[in-house]
């Protein structure tokens, strides 16, 4: 049930985001006195509609987005359809700077929505705790959470703490180290973090080693006889290949033992700069991910045949909604909000790509017309007028086919072989 609720809520979040996008176009256009005749949420058959002033508002049967009708968006629209008294209000007759603001208003709403969502997460719901991430990477003092009783001669991935009479007594335990001790140096080399300690142990040969540690505020030293034992080569418990490594028999204190939660909140005021930081990090990561999309298409195709799908392949709104369902099922509301914010950022940026039928394409044409008219005036030539959209239709169709094909591919992959959090 929680999964289904999450899917529905995420899908609703997408629809609301797109509805706000179109509302951005509508309010900006009306602010400049342009003629707006329709604003609908959804597509297909009309469920209901009403008219307020000159605008017809309504809801359609298929909740797959929204649209707004601003009269005179392109030359293909017959101006005769507009009442003579309103012809000066059609879109294309307005100054290019006003048209530009109307066109980019939709993307601006996505950027604002993304920031607001990040802020809600940072202020009230929770965002990834950087202190918890430090534990994961070992970028914390080497405080011991566990001192192993033994070092297994034959590594048991399922029971790494189980001891047998054949195993070696734990070197750290034998030397008197205890949970709560913080190791600060090995053989005189400072180890300010657990990651540096682990690296230092790896580079030290088996045998006696001088260990400096802090206990109850007092610095002490002891000699630990390091041993060599087989461990997974890749560092993960499920790695079947083994290599002999130097072992001390210690385990870092866990975030739970240290009282460090996985997420944290900052409150309304402090949440603002943290939301801005998240915004910048996500935008940078998204830019990098977009450039890798072409290289990920082969993996999407192979995923349809049942091969393993990479977690960093593009996903559709179907896949995003499924992930939204999983986050709710796992009570990870912060991740739900991160996904929704990321989606808004992506849609906002993508919509500004200077290709028809995207808003960015209309912006590019508007300024091309402006510059072409300016250049013609400078050379004393007749204004060439507006761009012939019919001549651009082949390019428009190509863009629709390419992005439509990618959308179909990602939707199919998200149904047959979806990316999951498990």
Calpha distance 191→201 (Å, rounded): 10
Do residue 100 and residue 21 come from a single domain? Answer: yes
Q: Is 102 left (phi over 0), alpha (psi -120 to 50) or beta?
A: alpha
- Phi, psi angle pair for 140, to nearest 5°: -140, 160
The answer to whether the CB of 110 falls within 8 A of the CB of 347 is: yes
Do residue 107 and residue 141 come from a single domain? Answer: no
We report the CATH number of the domain holding residue 216 as 2.30.42.10
- Phi, psi angle pair for 230, to nearest 5°: -75, 135
Quick: pLDDT tens for 154-171. 887 777 778 888 888 999
Q: Which two tokens stand for residue 300?
A: 């999407």
Beta-carbon contacts of 401 under 8 Å, excluding residues fewer than 6 positions away, are none
Sign of the torsion formed by the C-alpha atoms of 338, 343, 344 and 345: positive
pLDDT at 316: 86
Sign of the torsion formed by the C-alpha atoms of 100, 101, 105 and 107: positive
What one-character DSSP code corresponds to residue 125?
I
The answer to whether the CB of 222 falls within 8 A of the CB of 211 is: yes
Query: Cα 23 vs. chain centroid, distance in angstroms?
Result: 25
Q: Assess if residue 264 is contained within a domain.
A: no
Do residue 237 and residue 143 come from a single domain? Answer: yes
Q: Domain boundary at 190, 221, 252, which?
A: 252
Calpha distance 273→128 (Å, rounded): 15
What is the pairing mode between strands 263-264 and 36-52? unpaired
Do residue 223 and residue 171 come from a single domain? Answer: yes
pLDDT at 290: 78
pLDDT at 236: 61
In the residue annotation, 22 being an active-site residue is answered as yes
pLDDT at 296: 84
Do residue 148 and residue 236 come from a single domain? Answer: yes
Q: How far is CA 335 from CA 2, 73, 145, 274, 340, in A?
A: 15, 38, 29, 16, 9
Tell me the residue range of the domain where 234 lies: 134-252
Q: How far is CA 6 from CA 11, 127, 323, in A?
A: 8, 18, 8
Q: Assess if residue 399 is contained within a domain.
A: yes
Calpha distance 351→106 (Å, rounded): 8
Do residue 102 and residue 20 come from a single domain? Answer: yes
All residue ranges of the chain with pLDDT < 70 are 74-82, 234-240
Do residue 152 and residue 241 come from a single domain? Answer: yes
Q: Which two tokens stand for residue 294?
A: 């072409």
Give the three-class secondary structure for 383.
coil
- The domain tally of the chain equals 2
Calpha distance 297→418 (Å, rounded): 14
Q: Which residue shows structure tokens 């960093």? A: 312
Do residue 7 and residue 120 come from a single domain? Answer: yes
Do residue 105 and residue 160 come from a single domain? Answer: no
pLDDT at 88: 81
Quick: pLDDT tens for 209-256. 999 999 999 999 999 999 998 887 765 656 667 788 889 999 888 898
Calpha distance 316→418 (Å, rounded): 10
Q: Is 155 left (phi over 0), alpha (psi -120 to 50) or beta?
A: beta
Q: Assess if residue 290 is contained within a domain.
A: no
Q: Give the count of beta carbons closer than 10 Å to the beta carbon of residue 71.
A: 22
Q: Domain boundary at 237, 252, 267, which?
A: 252
Q: Assess if residue 284 is contained within a domain.
A: no
Q: Which two tokens stand for residue 335?
A: 């991740």
Instruction: Note the pTM of the prediction, 2 decimals.
Output: 0.82
DSSP result, 15-51: HHHHHHHHHHHHHHHHHTT--EEEEEEEEEEEEEEEE
Q: Assess if residue 43 is contained within a domain.
A: yes
Q: Domain boundary at 223, 252, 281, which?
A: 252
3-state secondary structure string across 161-208: CCCCCCCEECHHHHCCCCCCCEEEEECCEECCCHHHHHHHHHHCCCEE
Q: Which of 22, 56, 78, 326 is catalytic?
A: 22
pLDDT at 415: 87
Calpha distance 228→303 (Å, rounded): 42
H-type helices in 192-316, by residue range? 194-203, 267-291, 293-304
Q: Assess if residue 209 is contained within a domain.
A: yes
Give the three-class secondary structure for 318.
helix
Q: Assess if residue 179 is contained within a domain.
A: yes
Calpha distance 421→412 (Å, rounded): 18
Do residue 181 and residue 156 come from a single domain? Answer: yes
Do residue 350 and residue 391 come from a single domain? Answer: yes
Do residue 115 and residue 150 come from a single domain? Answer: no
Q: Assess if residue 310 is contained within a domain.
A: no
């Amino acid at each position: 049930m929680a999964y289904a609720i999450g899917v529905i809520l995420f899908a609703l979040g997408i629809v609301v985001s797109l509805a706000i996008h179109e509302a951005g176009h509508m309010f900006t256009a009306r602010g400049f006195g342009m003629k707006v005749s329709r604003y609908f949420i959804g597509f297909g058959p009309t469920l209901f509609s009403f008219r307020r002033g000159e605008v017809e508002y309504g809801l359609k049967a298929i909740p797959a987005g929204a649209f707004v009708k601003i009269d005179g968006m392109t030359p293909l629209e017959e101006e005769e359809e507009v009442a003579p008294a309103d012809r000066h209000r059609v879109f294309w007759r307005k100054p290019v700077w006003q048209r530009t603001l109307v066109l980019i208003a939709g993307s601006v709403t996505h950027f604002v929505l993304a920031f607001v969502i990040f802020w809600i997460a940072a202020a009230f719901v929770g965002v990834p705790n950087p202190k918890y991430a430090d534990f994961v990477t070992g970028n914390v003092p080497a405080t011991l959470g566990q001192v192993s009783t033994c070092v297994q001669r034959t590594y048991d991935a399922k029971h790494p703490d189980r001891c047998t009479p054949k195993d070696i007594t734990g070197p750290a335990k034998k030397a008197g180290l205890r949970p709560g001790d913080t190791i600060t140096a090995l053989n005189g080399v400072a180890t300010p973090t657990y990651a540096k300690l682990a690296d230092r142990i790896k580079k030290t040969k088996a045998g006696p080693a001088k260990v400096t540690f802090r206990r109850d505020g007092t610095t002490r030293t002891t000699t630990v006889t390091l041993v060599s034992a087989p461990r997974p080569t890749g560092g993960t418990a499920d790695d079947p290949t083994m290599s002999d490594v130097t072992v001390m028999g210690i385990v870092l204190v866990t975030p739970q033992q240290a009282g460090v939660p996985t997420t944290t909140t900052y409150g309304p005021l402090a949440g603002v700069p943290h939301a801005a930081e998240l915004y910048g990090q996500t935008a940078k990561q998204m830019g990098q991910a977009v450039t890798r999309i072409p290289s990920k298409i082969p993996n999407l195709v192979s995923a349809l045949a049942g091969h393993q799908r990479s977690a960093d392949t593009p996903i559709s709104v179907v896949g995003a909604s499924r992930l939204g369902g999983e986050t709710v099922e796992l009570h990870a509301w912060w991740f739900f909000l991160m996904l929704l914010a990321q989606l808004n950022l992506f849609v906002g940026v993508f919509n500004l790509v200077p290709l028809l039928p995207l808003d960015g394409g209309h912006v590019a044409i508007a300024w091309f017309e402006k510059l072409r008219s300016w250049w013609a005036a400078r050379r004393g030539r007749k204004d060439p007028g507006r761009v012939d959209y019919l001549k651009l239709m082949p390019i428009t169709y190509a863009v629709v086919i390419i992005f439509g094909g990618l959308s179909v591919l990602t939707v199919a992959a998200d149904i047959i072989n979806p990316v999951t959090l498990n």
